[in-house]
């Protein structure tokens, strides 16, 4: 028998770590549901035709196939989805007649990519997506809503400060057109390199590759330097003296989105209008959204999305959408593996009911059931060892309280509870005792980064 070992790129957590992940998932779900987003789950597989329709992802797709299967076996021509957007698009077209539009959905599922694993890149990972999908049209206010809901959700998570960066494709396209660029998307492609190249090199490419004049290149680079926490970017863009109707639309849309996020700005969340970001070159047609986690910029954007005017189409009907995807694994894995994020128990139990002897196991079980009836997670000790060892059983799991039922022959019938952190043990009433609210469920603990 060989001892199994972890598979690179397929992360797994210990129980206390999973508690922390689960708490994050529940927090996200709660926010999404309060805003009326309905949950769906899609199958894990799509046809290769669907998976490959979105472009340059071919080499990352995992196909599935029956072991020893023949070519016409179930599974042939199927692959695991690499995001939750392709499945959503297919689900919407397949069930359009049975859905109500605008269709507001959230989806929290795994996805798979055959990538080389590295920091922030996994072969199997979990995402939490919200999208609003319209039929034929989708009002602009949904961009503001989706952005604000995700900002609210992220502002409540037990993670380092998150920085949302917002931009709008109409804004930059309009600006480049207003500048006089013949091919605004070529400008985007070059400006997008500001991540890797220094501004003089980018300027050179704008002039030599895209054919801008030096003055035009200066204006485009000027736009890319604008980054504000409020709507003051509007005045700064106007100060560049460029005009175009698309630019006006984009400025208004971005200003609305920035304002929609303001209620959630604080220590946990910052929001910027950042006129440099474009989020790739295809796909998005309006709002674009990305997010960096402070101290973990190297993992890339942990939450991204935007508006796509043609999420899906069945040939006759087009379904525009706006959506954002939060990378649960990408956000939590670096925190958990560094020991920065965890929970304070490896079990849900708030109480371990001690065992006087094996004969009275049922009596201890009855105590546990009374506690459970009040919503208190409880378990009974594994065996009737000395109390010191039963307390150790609780300590090793992080269970905060040990309950001692009366010993047989103890005419007082007195129950006692010990808080194993303080060592204080007190008589309690079986019918009414409750742990403090903060001890009822495992608590998520985020340590400051050293």
Q: According to CB under 8 A, which residues from 293 to 332 bind a copy of itself? A: 313-315
Minimum CB distance to a copy of itself smaller for 7 or for 445: 7
- Give the count of residues interacting with a copy of itself (CB under 8 A): 93
Comparison of 58 and 208: residue with beta carbon closer to a copy of itself: 58
Min separation Cβ 382 and a copy of itself, Å? 6
CA distances from residue 137 to 63, 156, 256 in whole angstroms, order as listed: 34, 32, 19
Are residues 320 and 344 in contact, defined by beta-carbon separation less than 8 angstroms?
no
For residues 24 and 127, what is the distance between their CA atoms, to the nearest angstrom?
12
Residues near 1 by Cβ (< 8 Å), separated by ≥ 6? none
- Tell me which residue has tokens 């549901």: 33
State which of positions 212-241 bind a copy of itself (CB under 8 A).
none
SS3 assignment, position 184? helix
Task: Kindly state whether residue 43 participates in binding a copy of itself, applying the rule CB under 8 A.
Answer: yes
- Give the binding range for a copy of itself (CB under 8 A) out of 52-60, 157-165, 228-236, 294-302: 52-60
| Residue numbers 376-435 binding a copy of itself by CB under 8 A | 376-379, 382-383, 393, 396-397
Which one of 60, 83, 230, 344 is in contact with a copy of itself (CB under 8 A)?
A: 60
| Minimum CB distance to a copy of itself, residue 396 (Å) | 5
Of residues 278, 287, 291, the one with CA closest to residue 257? 287
Map the footprint of a copy of itself across residues 103-142, applying CB under 8 A.
104-105, 110, 112, 114-117, 123-124, 139, 141
**Range list of β-strands (E), 210-337:** 227-228, 269-274, 287-293, 303-313, 318-327
Kindly tell me which of 190 and 312 has the beta carbon lying closer to a copy of itself: 312
For a copy of itself, which residue of 24, 28, 37, 305 counts as binding (CB under 8 A)? 37
Question: Whose Cβ is closer to a copy of itself: residue 62's or residue 387's?
Answer: 62
Instruction: Determine, following the binding rule CB under 8 A, whether residue 447 of this chain makes contact with a copy of itself.
Output: no
**Which residue in the set 102, 158, 178, 184 belongs to the binding site for a copy of itself (CB under 8 A)?**
102
Q: Among residues 211, 206, 243, which one has the least CA distance to residue 221?
A: 206
Smaller CB separation from a copy of itself, 22 or 197? 22
Crossing angle of helices 245-261 and 169-179, in 10° steps, is: 150
- Each residue of 83-107: b (16+ CB within 10 Å) or e? bbbbbbbbbbbeebeebebbbbbbb
Q: Is 370 a residue that touches a copy of itself (CB under 8 A)?
A: no
Classify 281 as helix, strand or coil. coil
Which parts of 172-211 interact with a copy of itself (CB under 8 A)? none
Binding to a copy of itself by residue 283, rule CB under 8 A?
A: no
Is the backbone of residue 173 left (phi > 0), alpha (psi -120 to 50) or beta? Answer: alpha
Q: Distance of alpha carbon 32 from its chain centroid, rounded? A: 12
Q: According to the binding rule CB under 8 A, does residue 64 interact with a copy of itself?
A: yes
Regarding 33 and contact with a copy of itself (CB under 8 A), the answer is: yes
Of the candidate spans 40-48, 156-164, 180-188, 413-421, the one that interacts with a copy of itself by CB under 8 A turns out to be 40-48
Please give the residues from 141 up to 160 whose contact with a copy of itself meets the rule CB under 8 A. Answer: 141
- The secondary structure element, H or E, covering residue 444 is strand 444-446
Verify binding: residue 10, a copy of itself, rule CB under 8 A.
Answer: yes
Of the candidate residues 100, 214, 267, 429, the single one contacting a copy of itself (CB under 8 A): 100
First-to-last C-alpha distance (Å) of the chain = 40
* Helix or strand holding residue 224 (H, E): helix 214-224
């Amino acid at each position: 028998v060989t001892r199994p070992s972890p598979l690179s790129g397929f992360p797994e957590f210990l129980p206390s770590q999973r508690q922390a992940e689960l708490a994050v998932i529940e927090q996200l779900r709660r926010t999404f549901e309060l805003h009326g987003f309905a949950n769906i789950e899609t199958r894990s597989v799509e046809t290769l035709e669907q998976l490959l329709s979105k472009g340059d992802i071919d080499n990352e797709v995992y196909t599935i196939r029956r072991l020893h299967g023949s070519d016409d076996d179930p599974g042939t021509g199927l692959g695991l989805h690499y995001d939750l957007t392709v499945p959503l698009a297919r689900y919407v077209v397949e069930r359009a007649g049975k859905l109500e539009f605008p269709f507001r959905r959230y989806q929290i599922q795994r996805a798979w990519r055959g990538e080389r694993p590295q920091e922030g890149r996994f072969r199997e990972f979990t995402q939490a997506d919200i999208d609003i999908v319209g039929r034929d049209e989708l009002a602009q206010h949904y961009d503001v809503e989706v952005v604000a809901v995700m900002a609210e959700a992220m502002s409540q998570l037990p993670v380092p400060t998150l920085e949302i960066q917002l931009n709008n494709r109409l804004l930059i396209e309009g600006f480049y057109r207003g500048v006089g660029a013949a091919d605004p998307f070529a400008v985007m492609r070059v400006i997008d390199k500001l991540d890797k190249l220094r501004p003089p090199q980018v300027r050179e490419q704008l002039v030599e590759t895209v054919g801008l004049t030096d003055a035009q290149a200066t204006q485009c680079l000027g736009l890319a330097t604008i980054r504000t926490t409020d709507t003051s970017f509007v005045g700064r863009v106007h100060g560049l003296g460029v005009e175009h109707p698309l630019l006006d639309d984009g400025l208004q849309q971005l200003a609305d989105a920035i304002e929609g996020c303001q209620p959630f700005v604080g220590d946990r969340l910052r929001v910027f209008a950042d006129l440099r970001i474009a989020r790739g070159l295809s796909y998005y047609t309006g709002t674009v959204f990305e997010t960096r986690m402070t101290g973990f910029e190297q993992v890339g954007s942990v939450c991204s999305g935007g508006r796509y005017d043609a999420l899906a189409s069945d040939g006759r009907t087009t379904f525009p959408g706006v959506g954002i995807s939060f990378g649960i694994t990408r956000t939590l894995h670096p925190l958990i593996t560094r020991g920065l994020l965890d929970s304070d128990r490896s079990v849900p139990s708030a109480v371990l009911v001690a065992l006087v002897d094996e004969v009275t196991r049922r009596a201890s079980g009855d105590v546990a059931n009374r506690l459970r009836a009040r919503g208190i997670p409880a378990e009974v000790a594994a065996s009737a060892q000395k109390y010191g060892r039963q307390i150790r059983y609780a300590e090793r799991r992080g269970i905060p309280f040990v309950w001692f039922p009366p010993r047989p022959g103890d005419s007082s019938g007195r129950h006692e509870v010990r808080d194993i952190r303080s060592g204080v043990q007190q008589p309690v009433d079986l019918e009414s005792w409750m742990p403090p609210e903060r001890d009822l469920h495992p608590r998520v603990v985020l340590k400051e980064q050293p």
